[in-house]
Chain A
Amino acid sequence: MDGIQRENGCLNTFCPIASVAWLHRKMKDSFFLIVGTHTCAHFIQTALDVMVYAHSRFGFAVLEESDLVAPSMTGELSSVIDEVVAEWNPKVIFVMTTCSVDILKMDLEVSCKEISKKLNFPVLLTSASGIDGIFTQGEDKVLKALLPFCPTVEEEEKEQSEERKSKWFFFNKEEEKPVEKPKVSNLVLVGAVTDGTAQQLQWELKKLGLDKVDVFPEGDLAKMPVINERTVVAPLQPYLNDTLATIRRERGATVLTTLFPIGPDGTAQFLKDICQHFQIDASRVEEREKQTWQELEPQLQMLRGKKIMFLGDNLLELPLARFLTACGVEIVELGTPYVHSKDMKAELETLLAKQVPIIEGPDFHLQLKRIQAYKPDLIVTGLALCNPLEAMGYRTAWSIEFTFAQIHGFVNAIDLIKMFTKPLRKWQALQEHGWN
């Protein structure tokens, strides 16, 4: 898409395995097994400060040099998984592969299937290699692996295919007989958000007249929503490109092109587009949006006219920047690791209409120079850079906080905006006490 510059960088971000931090909490009775090197383990335990979860439902199958090349990895992987099962008794195991598996061209697909069969519960292979993606994209890979658990037919229609449940691991779509299409289509919100966030969005939609709104993924494998060619999918997170592409391709579902429900403006557009699709009245939305903006007013006063720069980290940059422009903020630079022009179409149109300079894969060293030129009031960036930038005299917001916090919908808008105003307030407060 025009209007986007490209640079060769954005290296101060994490790799996809970091997504275990929230995914292992989202998926009930799961275990995440990361197949990788010592670096992967060290990274997770130090950089993410996952020490708070010292004993939890993820672990590492660390590759160790031996006389090299085990004839098949199945035996190796199987015995590690046996240990995991003995300790945790999970209902699903996600085997996340990493760079080393990629480099060694190890294929664990068959192994996972065999182990799965042996244990009689799903052992799902997901690639989380840092060679390909950045940390939030780990969620994309996991959701994609969960798609086969979304039935293609409604509960009532599938009496005849009850056995399917016990045969989930074959993933064989041909087993499902074509069923007569009912008239109604279902709406599925896609993204690993907290139950609270999902409930809020469901509540908003219910008020608009949509009673049955599903969410993918559910924490429980047995409760995944139906996704078929009648399904309308509304993405909640901007980094689920693989999952969405697979939904389009394999399920023939309609994926809405709309803004992400982040910020009152995005949430309103999101709801309106859904309403339009389902041909229901959306007039209430504007009222909600207006009311939410009013609630934000004290914070908005602080943000209007401020210059904010995104260095690029977690792929939430586009919706966040779009929300900020609606707040009257000047986005001096919107750096983001990667721009998916199809899935981000609505966001991009809004941003480019406002001439927001977007840089894909920004180069930090060039950014450093631009920071000096732009003198932004706030820089949104990753953990590695915040403290040094603060010491240089800039205010920073940790981008990772936006990944961990609940920022979707009208109700959370106040928390979202405070994540931008808090560093500014802190700065003000400290200055009043002699810091400058």
Chain B
Amino acid sequence: MVLKLAYWMYEGTALSGIARVTGSMKKIHTVIHGPQGDSYINVMFSMLERFHELPPFTLSAIGRREMAKGSRARLVETVLRVDEEQKPDVIVITPTCSSTLLQEDLDAVAHTLQARTNATLIVPKVNAFRDLEHYAMDQFLTQMVATFAEEQSKSERFSVNIIGPSYLGFHQIHDLEEIKKTLQDLGIEINLVVPYGASVEALRNITKAHLNISLYQEYGKSVCDYLKERFGMDYLSITPLGIRQTGRFLEEIGEKAGIDVHAYIRRNLSPASLISRCVNSVDALSSLYGKRAVVFGDYSHAVGVTYLLREIGIQVEWAGTYMKAMESSFKQELQGQAKEVFVCDDFQKISNKIKETQPDIVFGTQMERHSSARHDFPCVVISSPAHILNFPLHASPILGYSGITRILDNINGTIKLGLEEHLVNMFGEDSQEEEVQIAIAEVAASTEKKELSAGASEEIKWTPDALNTLKQIPFFVRGKVQRNTETYAREKGHKEITLEVIYAAKAHFEK
């Protein structure tokens, strides 16, 4: 064993990954074989997803007695009771980090117990100590599908399975609604969503679909590979985030389904569409174009958002992911899209990097939101780890065209607006914030009088023309402009500030 200092975990545990799969499905109950605190999974479901039902997890606690006398008796009792009381189709018996260290043979327990339960007993084939959330999800989803999938005849109309959406994912349930709507608009049927809302019965029919669509890159692809190999099912693994990726996603589906999707794409991107009107607006020229952003998150969102930012004219200084296992494909995917592409799971390093880069806007996880707040950078949260704020009530997809509009809204709500920022940058130095933050009404009334008269009465005089120009500058940067111009004038030995001096000062500070 070695020890590693961590203040923060970007990825959850294997236990939480398994729980995301089982907890998203129907009529599956999970028995967690671990110590007291490992029942925190219940709290995640109950609090973050605001569960109105008891989360389907029961702890088989390992306490002092179990440590001394063995935990088997407690486990057997718990499983039998869950079977009797909850009557689930499947009981998943999962170890946790700590109980893995006990090196018990849960498979053997499940094997002997199976004769006594109505539910099918499944022990995830993961190493709960070593594996992380997404890898565990990928493996366990495949295990579940492999356990229940049966050969079926294809549905009459072209249909797809959507693989990925689950509870506790980043806006995934919202994504699902968006994808459903899109497919419906295109006239494509959905056979099954996995794991969200899937029952064992539904898993048996997974092979009825013509195509599997894996929405996220962190997990789900193994299921597709399995279904391809075992049942010859075709699949598609694209995260439709951003303009190009969404287009590609639609085109490939269209191609497989024999449907022309171009009209649909055009409708969403035509000059009349909201996306296009926003991106092409003159406002976006100043508020978005050329802005320096940094991106950090899981794989799917870091990649997708980087693409999207490039597509709307934002410069990506660097893009990083904490998905260490996906390093090479991440680098390959984003090569040339950002000045620097890297993998890192140390949040303090990311925090320092943000500070060094001094970006105009940060796209990251809740952790980067914290780091950004500390260094006073605007931040849009685009990836797990999430917070209750990332479980919004209103439709908030990240994927598809609605996802783009939502991200654009978020950027607009976060970044400094075009004109305002222009002026601040032109004349201000680094501490522009104060001016903006001062209570508007108060400042509007007093600044004008005080500063203009002061400015006019001190050694440096403003000509009427120059004063007029000064008045036209929004109040919240006026003080700064005045001071900078006067400093400049003094340096240059001007006794009077004329329009020429203002313009020269502007040129001076702008360069």
Chain A residues in contact with chain B, CB under 8 A?
Answer: 11-15, 17-18, 35, 37-43, 45-47, 49, 51, 54-55, 59-66, 68-70, 73, 76-77, 79-80, 83-84, 98-100, 102-104, 106, 129-135, 365, 382-388, 390-391
Number of contact residues on B: which range applies? 35 or more
Q: Is the CB of A131 within 8 A of B63?
A: yes
Q: Which residue of A lies closest to B168 (CB)?
A: A46
Q: Taking the nearest CB of chain A, how far is it from the CB of B43, in angstroms?
A: 4
Q: Is the CB of B53 within 8 A of A84?
A: no
In the complex, chain B residues 30-54 whose Cβ is within 8 Å of any chain A Cβ: 34-40, 42-44, 46-48, 50-54
Q: Is the CB of B55 within 8 A of A131?
A: no
Asked whether any CB of chain A lies closer than 8 Å to the CB of B326, the reply is no
Q: Taking the nearest CB of chain A, how far is it from the CB of B444, in angstroms?
A: 35
| Residue numbers in B under 8 Å from A18 (CB-CB) | 37
Q: Is the CB of A46 within 8 A of B40?
A: yes
Binary CB contact string for chain B from 391 to 404 against chain A (1 if under 8 A, 0 otherwise): 00000000000000
| Residue numbers in A under 8 Å from B385 (CB-CB) | 45-46
Pick the contact of A59 from B7, B40, B130 — CB < 8 Å? Answer: B7
Asked whether any CB of chain A lies closer than 8 Å to the CB of B59, the reply is yes
In the assembly, what is the distance between CA of A55 and CA of B4, in Å?
17
Q: Taking the nearest CB of chain A, how far is it from the CB of B103, in angstroms?
A: 10
In the assembly, what is the distance between CA of A55 and CA of B348, in Å?
9
| Residue numbers in B under 8 Å from A62 (CB-CB) | 3-6
| Residue numbers in B under 8 Å from A63 (CB-CB) | 1-3
Q: Is the CB of A383 within 8 A of B47?
A: yes
Asked whether any CB of chain A lies closer than 8 Å to the CB of B13, the reply is yes
Pick the contact of A39 from B13, B46, B67 — CB < 8 Å? Answer: B13
From known contacts A15-B36, A65-B1, A131-B67, infer whether A60 and B6 are also in contact, taking CB-CB under 8 Å: yes
| Residue numbers in A under 8 Å from B35 (CB-CB) | 15, 99, 129-131
| Residue numbers in B under 8 Å from A70 (CB-CB) | 1-2
Pick the contact of A103 from B15, B47, B102, B387 — CB < 8 Å? Answer: B102
From known contacts A14-B36, A42-B13, A66-B1, infer whether A131 and B46 are also in contact, taking CB-CB under 8 Å: no
Q: Is the CB of B3 within 8 A of A73?
A: yes
In the assembly, what is the distance between CA of A46 and CA of B391, in Å?
14
Q: Is the CB of A61 within 8 A of B36?
A: no
Q: Taking the nearest CB of chain B, how far is it from the CB of A362, in angstroms?
A: 13
Pick the contact of B3 from A80, A134, A385 — CB < 8 Å? Answer: A80
In the assembly, what is the distance between CA of A35 and CA of B81, in Å?
34
In this complex, the member of A17, A38, A134 whose beta carbon has the largest number of chain B beta carbons within 10 angstroms is A38
In the complex, chain B residues 122-145 whose Cβ is within 8 Å of any chain A Cβ: 129-130, 132
In the assembly, what is the distance between CA of A217 and CA of B387, in Å?
33
Q: Taking the nearest CB of chain B, how far is it from the CB of A167, in angstroms?
A: 28
Q: Is the CB of B1 within 8 A of A64?
A: yes
From known contacts A38-B9, A45-B8, A131-B64, infer whether A387 and B46 are also in contact, taking CB-CB under 8 Å: yes
| Residue numbers in A under 8 Å from B108 (CB-CB) | none
In the assembly, what is the distance between CA of A80 and CA of B4, in Å?
7
| Residue numbers in A under 8 Å from B370 (CB-CB) | 51, 54-55
Q: Is the CB of A39 within 8 A of B15?
A: yes
Binary CB contact string for chain B from 53 to 71 against chain A (1 if under 8 A, 0 otherwise): 1110011011110010000
| Residue numbers in A under 8 Å from B16 (CB-CB) | 42, 46
Given contacts A61-B4, A382-B43, A384-B43, could you give 8 more A-B pairs where the C-beta distance is less than 8 Å? Answer: A11-B36, A15-B35, A39-B15, A54-B370, A99-B34, A383-B47, A384-B39, A384-B46
Q: Is the CB of B52 within 8 A of A43?
A: no
Q: Taking the nearest CB of chain B, how far is it from the CB of A30, in angstroms?
A: 15
Q: Taking the nearest CB of chain A, how far is it from the CB of B377, in angstroms?
A: 15
Q: Is the CB of B1 within 8 A of A69?
A: yes
Q: Taking the nearest CB of chain B, how far is it from the CB of A195, in angstroms?
A: 26
Q: Is the CB of A46 within 8 A of B12?
A: yes
Pick the contact of A131 from B36, B39, B48, B132 — CB < 8 Å? Answer: B36
| Residue numbers in A under 8 Å from B81 (CB-CB) | 365
Q: Is the CB of A39 within 8 A of B38?
A: yes
In this complex, the member of A37, A40, A129 whose beta carbon has the largest number of chain B beta carbons within 10 angstroms is A37
Q: Is the CB of A65 within 8 A of B129?
A: yes
Q: Is the CB of B37 within 8 A of A130?
A: yes
Q: Taking the nearest CB of chain A, how far is it from the CB of B76, in angstroms?
A: 13
In the assembly, what is the distance between CA of A382 and CA of B59, in Å?
15
Identify 8 residue pairs between A and B in the complex whose beta-carbon atoms are under 8 Å apart, listed by A's number: A15-B38, A40-B37, A46-B44, A47-B43, A51-B387, A385-B54, A387-B47, A388-B52
Q: Is the CB of A45 within 8 A of B9?
A: yes
Asked whether any CB of chain A lies closer than 8 Å to the CB of B101, the reply is yes
Asked whether any CB of chain A lies closer than 8 Å to the CB of B185, the reply is no
Q: Taking the nearest CB of chain A, how far is it from the CB of B199, in angstroms?
A: 21
Q: Which residue of A lies closest to B62 (CB)?
A: A131
Q: Is the CB of A83 within 8 A of B5?
A: yes
Q: Is the CB of A43 within 8 A of B37?
A: yes
Q: Is the CB of B67 within 8 A of A55?
A: no
Q: Which residue of A lies closest to B44 (CB)?
A: A46
Q: Is the CB of A42 within 8 A of B12?
A: yes
In the assembly, what is the distance between CA of A104 and CA of B3, in Å?
14
In the assembly, what is the distance between CA of A84 and CA of B4, in Å?
11
| Residue numbers in B under 8 Å from A385 (CB-CB) | 42, 46, 54
Q: Taking the nearest CB of chain B, how far is it from the CB of A166, in angstroms?
A: 28
| Residue numbers in B under 8 Å from A100 (CB-CB) | 97-98, 101
Asked whether any CB of chain A lies closer than 8 Å to the CB of B374, the reply is yes
Asked whether any CB of chain A lies closer than 8 Å to the CB of B119, the reply is no
Q: Which residue of B lies closest to A37 (CB)?
A: B97
Asked whether any CB of chain A lies closer than 8 Å to the CB of B115, the reply is no
Which 5 pairs of residues, A with B, have the shortest CB-CB distance? A15-B37, A391-B52, A37-B97, A384-B42, A54-B370
In the assembly, what is the distance between CA of A110 and CA of B388, in Å?
42
In the assembly, what is the distance between CA of A365 and CA of B58, in Å?
10
In the assembly, what is the distance between CA of A16 and CA of B334, in Å?
43
Asked whether any CB of chain A lies closer than 8 Å to the CB of B22, the reply is no
Q: Is the CB of B1 within 8 A of A61?
A: no
Asked whether any CB of chain A lies closer than 8 Å to the CB of B367, the reply is yes
Asked whether any CB of chain A lies closer than 8 Å to the CB of B484, the reply is no
Q: Taking the nearest CB of chain B, how far is it from the CB of A400, in angstroms?
A: 10
Asked whether any CB of chain A lies closer than 8 Å to the CB of B366, the reply is yes
Asked whether any CB of chain A lies closer than 8 Å to the CB of B96, the reply is yes
Q: Is the CB of A76 within 8 A of B36?
A: no
Asked whether any CB of chain A lies closer than 8 Å to the CB of B85, the reply is yes
Pick the contact of A84 from B5, B101, B130, B367 — CB < 8 Å? Answer: B5
Q: Which residue of A lies closest to B373 (CB)?
A: A54
Q: Taking the nearest CB of chain A, how far is it from the CB of B7, in angstroms?
A: 5
| Residue numbers in A under 8 Å from B9 (CB-CB) | 38, 41-42, 45
| Residue numbers in B under 8 Å from A79 (CB-CB) | 3
